[in-house]
Structure 1
Amino acid sequence: MNFKIPRGTQDILPEQSAKWQYIEQRAHELCRTYNYKEIRTPMFEQTEVFARGVGDTTDIVQKEMYTFDDRGGRSLTLRPEGTASVVRSYVENKMHGLPDQPVKLYYIGPMFRYERPQSGRMRQFVQFGVEALGSDDPAIDAEVIALAMDLYKGLGLTDLKLVINSLGDKDSRTAHRNALIDHFKPRIEEFCSDCQARLEKNPLRILDCKKDHGHELMDTAPSILDYLNESSKAYFEQVQRYLTAIGIEFVVDATLVRGLDYYNNTAFEIMIDGKGFGAITTLSGGGRYNGLVEEFGGSDVPGIGFALSIERLLMALEAQGIELPIQEGIDAYLVVMGEEPKNVAPKLLHDLRKQGLTVDTDYLNKKMKAQFKAADRLNASFAIILGEQELENDSVMVKALSTGEQEEVKVQELVSYLKSKKK
């Protein structure tokens, strides 16, 4: 029987995993400078965590979740996104009582959505995201956006476009919601079944419909910006002032609504207009979700966050021809000749590795010439030659593979010799 990888998933092979590690390390380092701390939540939760947290009118909840019953009859779901799990953990672990507020968290991990696989859209994908809970200061909205932009720019991406919008507070959203219902209701039968179901539940989601995006009523739909009350307007204007002060360019787009039910006030997406990447394409998005903590039984705690796909980030880097500075090769390759030298080789290797040197050797009993070829394939800086004569002299022969120069070195001096040459 031939086993194949499930549709919509991928094997990240060794030649690619180094890129993933580099990006993840950059994300860890960036979050440290912004004082965001890592949180790790389970890969599956009670289904209600996502039905309540993401919103039962979203495509994610209605069509894309991997849901199953465990042996106890409990409905569980593989996490389709990170925010709901973080908020659940925030409430369950009473993080609102921590002395340092707001609570600033980040995560990196796999998510799962059952959707049609395509380039940059997998059924299992990896998200990096941040969440800041406990502050409704517009400055932290700007901080979250700046963190996302810093990651992209720090990796060398150009042609980035930040699009922002305000979805308003509860009163503004209610007024806009009623206006949308009045606008779409007379001709709602011309829209898809999903939009018809959303009309009364969440008409804002109609604006995000991919099937009906070309309908004429979409272009004339009431703008949320016309329904913002004074406090929502002031909040949005302050976010813009902070972004300008930081030096982040942006475009205001009143049609930006995002795909999740929990957003309010600030919403944003970061897009790329990259040659070879197609039309302007969304790389990441996020926004403010005041009220979500209450949905999980917590107090009235505001929050904001974003998430980005590592896969789409890698696609963008490839499209722009950006080579990540991945450290390749090894420090040394141990070439062993003879039975007795082979007996002492494992200890020598172990001693070198304990000193932080990257070394390898042959385990297939290859001839000396083949061992040197293996050293070249591994891009080794040095070949350490250990034969009968070297063993008797308590030494090794070290050959610089870039120049061909070689030198006899005492075993007890080998570490310091390699490290000095490495510098």
Structure 2
Amino acid sequence: MSVEKFDVMISYHENDEELQTYLTDQLTKLGLRVFHASSSDVSRRVEAVINCSVFILVLSEWSAKETLCNDETSLAYISNRPIFPVATDEYPVIAKHLDFSLKLTLAKINWIFFKTPQEYDANFDSLKAAVMNELQTAKSGPTEDANRELSRQASVRNEYNFTIGNTTVREGDIEAEGESDFWERNFAGHSAVSFESLWLCFVIEYKDLLDLQFDEKQMEWLEKLLFKEAFGRNKIISKQLFLDFRGIGSAATAADSKLPRKTFYSRVIDYAAGNLAMKEVFNMNSIIRMDAIRNLASFKTAAVVSSLLDLLEEPDANLRAVAAISLSKVGQGHQEVYEALIVTTEDPDRLAREAAILSLGKMKCEQAIPRILQIWRNDPIAPVRAAAEVALQQMEVPATKSARKMVDLISKEITSLKQQAK
């Protein structure tokens, strides 16, 4: 079944129907394919977010408080969709209704204001120019998420390489030409420093910006996030590890080298927003969680794979099964995925075991053959044994052929002995 693509997806609350209708009409007149749906049509909305080129959020006090709009925005963010917040009121009025996750996600994205119908036509020109620029950029070459390799850097745990906002990087987010970077300003001549020293210099240098975004408790969260996840609990941070986190070290891709060099502060905010957005989408209370897992398998981003691997340990057996199936679509040739799925073949839940087995078969994971053979011979549940047989058929290599012939031979001999006993 072909996937329906859209130029623009509009996320909105039903109380903002008037503005949504205006935007849809204007964008459609430009020849664009626009998706919008009622809040009850969750599955189609999830698919539209992932399969659109541009994501527009009609941002009002109602949508700011609605779980579905929050979840969709987080999904757009981790799917690398360009996000355009279209605000119906002044920032202070809406900001007080934004939770921390959405506020940080939208922190560096330019808002376009449509406060009254009298302003619509004048302000639409700005939105039109930005959207058309994004669509043109998308047509000029392959999209980033379609080409990004699945790679979880050993030195940077759970790397979140998300683009934030739109093609144009805000001037304050990038280092001025010729300006020394954070490390050189604070640790020139040092090959490594303690995490405590790095954090202290970060807080001092970017105090004004941090005070705008984080309260005391949120700063504690940010410090733990960087220590535990960004820098892998390393108490000593080497310059190389720091540069890898910045995306300008030896682990940087050719595509990374062409992008404007963001400040350390900007990189930290990107990382934190990505972390929160991922948690928002996969949160137990997320309305779109199951649909997101199923659809996000088409994106081979490190963050998505990391989350799917984490879901293999969820208490909900259905989520473990869906995660295993999704990993088969993104994990080909990657050892971490293979190992996690092999462990899942011992899951107490039948469906999770089946999903892991079939995923390993689809990816032709030869190292899983001994385990799958064992399941084929010994699992007490017939559908699981059948899944193992299907997986072995998909991995037809000499080892599986020989083992299956031996089992068939033994089975025939056992049947013969039973018949003789009668």
Specify the TM-score bucket, using the shorter chain as the normaliser.
under 0.3
* Structure with bigger gyration radius: 1
Tell me which protein shows more helix as a share of its residues: 2
TM-score by length of 1: 0.27
TM-score by length of 2: 0.27
Tell me which protein shows more strand as a share of its residues: 1
